[in-house]
A = this chain, B = another copy of it.
Amino acid sequence: MRYILGVDGGGTKTTCLLANEEGCILKRIVSGPSNPESVGEKKAKENLSQAIKTTLKGQKVEVICLGLAGVDLPEDAEKAYRFVKRLKVAKKIIVENDGIIALSGATVCKPGVVVSAGTGAIVFGLNKAGEKTRASGWGYILGDEGSGYDIARRGIIAAIKALDGRGENTSLLNKIPQYFNQPSIISVALWVYSSDFQLDKMAGLSPVITEAAREGDKVAQEVIREAAKELALAAGAVIKNLRMEKDEFEIACTGGVFKAKGLILSTFKSEVKKIAPQSKVIFPKFSAASGAVLMGLKEAGVELKGKVLKNISSRRMSLRAERNVIASRRRSNLKVLYTSSLDPSGNSKEDT
């Protein structure tokens, strides 16, 4: 039996999935971040090799497929490739940006587009010819339009403009301070410039804007519509750059922003339909880590259909039940955040 290791290396954690060639996920390890931009190169390498070694425990695999945040340029990929090669754990090594494995998971390695809108926002696409491209994802100052952070920022600005008399009155003037447990929007503004400020705390406000929009607040609705249009603009750029306007393909929406569905999803859908009428907006079929496994399986010559996909799916289902255990472990703040193994039947068995 041949094995595949899929790695999703991000700025907050690194997820490793060990699968056999039938798509059965045998083990799942979640370790510290492996994005050099967030933890530095040394720590990123340490976390990555620890995650891989903890998962494999000396075992070798046919293919290791890594999707790594911060791998934007060919030289980044080359560097990561050489590092993983030295670990001597796999016959074949694939190194990609984490957006590519997210895309592969979302569309099961088919041509398509993945729009990720969490704290940040980025769009990746793959066409029939195997060409890949991206748009947005330029960070919280210059890009990430339509992300949770961006929606939060637009919401606070809208409230401030209402206060100044530069904009229409809005329920956000009360809702935003309430959410942050602050006495006023001015205190919220001061917090944004304080040392206590964090991007993800700010992004956490985004559901409050969505709620206000759902309740009929016109200003909040405009913020959500603008965000949706920005996400569609980025998706549209990827579609045009890959000449996919007339193709049938899936656009997978992922990240906290799309969880709100409602106005953001409906506006996004109607906007992308203008660019690619044959496209279909979906939620991802598999996670980014599973996407890495799928790419690894494809590289090993395994056909991605039937039982293989069912095996990955069944694992995916069982993970839901596992999450409560995971959440409680996370609180203990272990370097290896959580680890579990499964027998090929898909029954969860903890492996501490």
- Residues on A lying within 8 angstroms of B by beta carbon are 134-136, 138-139, 141-143, 153, 156-157, 160, 164-166, 189, 192-193, 233-234, 236-238, 240-241
Contacts and interface: CB of A to CB of B under 8 A. Distances in A.
B143 A234 contact: no
Most chain B beta carbons < 10 A, residue from A139, A143, A192, A240? A143
B139 A189 contact: yes
12 contacts: A134-B164, A135-B164, A139-B189, A139-B193, A141-B153, A141-B192, A141-B193, A164-B234, A165-B237, A166-B234, A166-B236, A166-B237
Contacts of A143: 157, 160
B135 A189 contact: no
A230 to B, nearest CB: 9
Contacts of A166: 135-136, 233-234, 236-237
Given A136-B166, A165-B237, 13 more contacts: A138-B189, A139-B193, A141-B192, A141-B193, A142-B153, A142-B157, A142-B160, A142-B189, A143-B157, A164-B234, A166-B233, A166-B234, A166-B237
A233 B157 CA distance: 14
Copy number in this complex?
A: 2
Contacts of A189: 138-139, 142
A132 B157 CA distance: 22
A333 B143 CA distance: 38
A136 B157 contact: no
A156 B143 CA distance: 10
Contact of A160 (B138, B153, B238): B138
A63 to B, nearest CB: 31
The 4 closest A-B pairs by CB, nearest first: A165-B237, A135-B164, A166-B237, A165-B241
A189 B143 CA distance: 10
Nearest to A240: B165
A145 to B, nearest CB: 9
A238 to B, nearest CB: 8
Contacts of A234: 164, 166
Most chain B beta carbons < 10 A, residue from A160, A166, A192, A234? A166
B156 A142 contact: yes
Contacts of A193: 139, 141
A236 B166 CA distance: 8
A136 B153 CA distance: 15
Contacts of A153: 141-142
A276 to B, nearest CB: 14
A326 to B, nearest CB: 31
Contacts of A240: 165
A166 B137 CA distance: 12
Contacts of A135: 164-166
Nearest to A197: B141
A58 B134 CA distance: 67
B142 A192 contact: yes
